[in-house]
Amino acid sequence: MRFEHETLPQRVRFAPGDAAASVLAEVERLGGSRVMVIAAPGESDLAAQVTAGLPVVLRHDDVVMHVPVATAERARAAAAAHDVDVMVSVGGGSTTGLAKAVALTTGLPVVAVPTTYAGSEATSVWGLTEGARKTTGADPRVLPRAVVYDATLTLSLPVAMSVASGLNALAHCVDSLWAPRTDPIAQALAGEGIRALAAGLPTVVTDPIGLTGREHLLYGAYLAALAFSSAGSGLHHKICHVLGGAYDLPHAQTHAVVLPYVLAFNAPAAPEAERRMATAFDAPTAVEGLRRLRRAVDAPLALRDHGFDEAHIDDAVRAILEVVPAGNPRRVTAQNLRRLLRAASRGADPATVAAMGG
Ligand code: NAD
């Protein structure tokens, strides 16, 4: 067994019902005395709860999904104008993403308090969009210094969004099993992540105001992000990245829809990953495990329901082919990619993708 694995330096606290005290402790550890709180308008009540005891000099709510460059520039200027020394982000991946964009150019430390299951808080990946083009990169400066997970903060996330976001986390696990830098540690994290998410998702659907399912999802989302951060982007993420950036599709729902197609496509050519996933799902096969889970939680079905127009398929295929990871278990061609996107667009049975040739 020979591999190299990098563990990112970050403090993590799970503190159900107790985020405020944990955030205060983390801000004090960082010596923060001029705090910028970043939270979208829909997250401001949660942010107010969490940041009540902090030395806040600025509350910033100008948050936009996929972080347009102009949005990042406004936040950077506001941080400079208020002489901020620590940022606290309270919200989903878009909010965390804005804090990371500010950290990228200023080096300001971030304490992240996630309220969805996107997992951005545990990666050093940043993303910015300009026009229809999304650029991502990895930089140690953007990794939040501390993360505070408090499942009570996710109780207000509507069930449909919780399902999409939890499946986004599941996609981090699945894709990290065959991503370019996958290794046994990332695979172990991914397997445990799948187990936790597969347990948490149906529980959140049947008991949305209970904490048990939400805690499973946060724990699974964190493991998923660690696995993804270490293994890098596999085919699934490359597809979703192109679709999300070029056609302005909602992030979590896009991942939720595309995942079964990429799994069905790659799994027959990745038997070890397949066995690990099947075990984690407690199902005869990985594809069947995901099918059962998606049915139990009424998962989003088709890209066209989320704003994707099939007229874009050929353009999307061209853009995706340029970024397909070299080590993908199956050869990706214009023909099989076109069929995969068409099936995902219409919500067709993923088994049709498993069977197709090059
Ligand atoms: P989001 O942050 O856009 O949140 C979706 C909606 O839910 C927003 O309106 C938000 O205000 C609301 N919301 C969030 N938490 C809530 C709560 N607890 N209760 C009620 N409403 C709540 O969506 P997302 O899926 O979390 O994040 C997507 C973004 O994150 C994308 O831009 C994606 O590229 C990025 N992302 C980055 C990484 C990375 O490693 N860099 C990883 C995953 C996602």
Concatenated DSSP letters for 106-128? H---EEEEESSS--GGG--EEEE
pLDDT digits (tens, 9 = 90+) for 252-306: 999 999 999 999 999 999 999 999 999 999 999 999 999 999 999 999 999 999 9
Residues 6+ apart with CB under 8 A from 328: 178, 234, 235, 266
Residue 143 Cα to ligand 1 midpoint, Å, equals 16
Q: Are residues 201 and 297 in the same domain?
A: yes
Contact 50, 19 (CB under 8 A): yes
What distance in Å separates the CA atoms of residue 177 and residue 11, rounded to the nearest whole number? 25
Exposed, middle or buried by CB within 10 Å (0-12, 13-18, 19+), for 106?
Answer: middle
Q: How many domains does the chain have?
A: 2
3-state secondary structure at position 288:
helix
Note whether residue 2 is domain-resident. no
Note whether residue 42 is domain-resident. yes
Instruction: Determine which residue's CA is closest to atom 3 belonging to ligand 1.
Output: 94
Is any ligand 1 atom within 6 A of the Cβ of residue 92?
Answer: yes
Q: Which helix (H) or strand (E) holds 130?
A: strand 125-130
Domain final residue pick, 120, 154, 188: 154
- The pLDDT assigned to 357 comes to 60
Joined tokens for residue 202: 């149906």
What distance in Å separates the CA atoms of residue 349 and residue 72, rounded to the nearest whole number? 40
What distance in Å separates the CA atoms of residue 117 and residue 101, rounded to the nearest whole number? 19
Q: Are residues 207 and 136 in the same domain?
A: no
Q: Counting atoms of ligand 1 from 1, which one is nearest the CA of 42?
A: 11
Residues 6+ apart with CB under 8 A from 356: 265, 336, 339
What distance in Å separates the CA atoms of residue 245 and residue 220, rounded to the nearest whole number? 26
| CATH assignment at residue 35 | 3.40.50.1970
Range of the domain at 232: 159-354
Residue 50 Cα to ligand 1 midpoint, Å, equals 18
Concatenated DSSP letters for 263-332? HHHHGGG-HHHHHHHHHHHTSSSHHHHHHHHHHHHT----GGGGT--GGGHHHHHHHHHTT--TT-SS--
Instruction: Determine which residue's CA is closest to atom 27 belonging to ligand 1.
Output: 93
Number of alpha carbons in the 13 Å side-chain half-sphere of residue 80 = 10
What distance in Å separates the CA atoms of residue 50 and residue 260, rounded to the nearest whole number? 36
Joined tokens for residue 7: 């563990």
Residue 94: other Cβ atoms inside 10 A: 22
pLDDT digits (tens, 9 = 90+) for 93-114: 999 999 999 999 999 999 999 9
3-state secondary structure at position 87:
strand
Note whether residue 332 is domain-resident. yes
What percent helix, strand, coil does the chain show, rounded to 5? 60, 10, 30
Joined tokens for residue 137: 């990169």
Note whether residue 6 is domain-resident. no
- The pLDDT assigned to 211 comes to 97
Q: Are residues 125 and 215 in the same domain?
A: no
- The pLDDT assigned to 356 comes to 66
Domain final residue pick, 102, 130, 154: 154
Number of alpha carbons in the 13 Å side-chain half-sphere of residue 254 = 20
- The pLDDT assigned to 154 comes to 98
Is any ligand 1 atom within 6 A of the Cβ of residue 119?
Answer: yes
- The pLDDT assigned to 358 comes to 53
- The pLDDT assigned to 86 comes to 98
Q: Are residues 184 and 272 in the same domain?
A: yes
Instruction: Determine which residue's CA is closest to atom 4 belonging to ligand 1.
Output: 92
What distance in Å separates the CA atoms of residue 276 and residue 285, rounded to the nearest whole number? 9
Which residue ranges in the chain fall short of pLDDT 70? 356-358
Instruction: Determine which residue's CA is closest to atom 7 belonging to ligand 1.
Output: 92
Instruction: Give 238's strand partners.
Output: none
Question: What is Dmax (Cα atoms) for the chain?
Answer: 60
Residue 139: what residue type? D
Domain final residue pick, 154, 188, 210: 154
- List the one residue out of 290, 286, 304, 293 whose CA is nearest residue 343: 304
Number of alpha carbons in the 13 Å side-chain half-sphere of residue 192 = 12
Q: Are residues 201 and 237 in the same domain?
A: yes
- The pLDDT assigned to 246 comes to 86
- The pLDDT assigned to 258 comes to 98
Is any ligand 1 atom within 6 A of the Cβ of residue 43?
Answer: yes
Note whether residue 1 is domain-resident. no
pTM for this model (two decimals): 0.96
- Choose the residue to mutate in 159, 161, 175, 254 for probing ligand 1, maximizing ligand atoms within 8 Å of C-beta: 161
Q: Counting atoms of ligand 1 from 1, which one is nearest the CA of 125?
A: 41
| CATH assignment at residue 340 | 1.20.1090.10
Is any ligand 1 atom within 6 A of the Cβ of residue 202?
Answer: no
Looking at residue 60, the DSSP 8-state letter turns out to be E
Q: Are residues 53 and 111 in the same domain?
A: yes
Residues 6+ apart with CB under 8 A from 349: 343
- Choose the residue to mutate in 89, 120, 259 for probing ligand 1, maximizing ligand atoms within 8 Å of C-beta: 120
Instruction: Give 36's strand partners.
Output: 58, 87
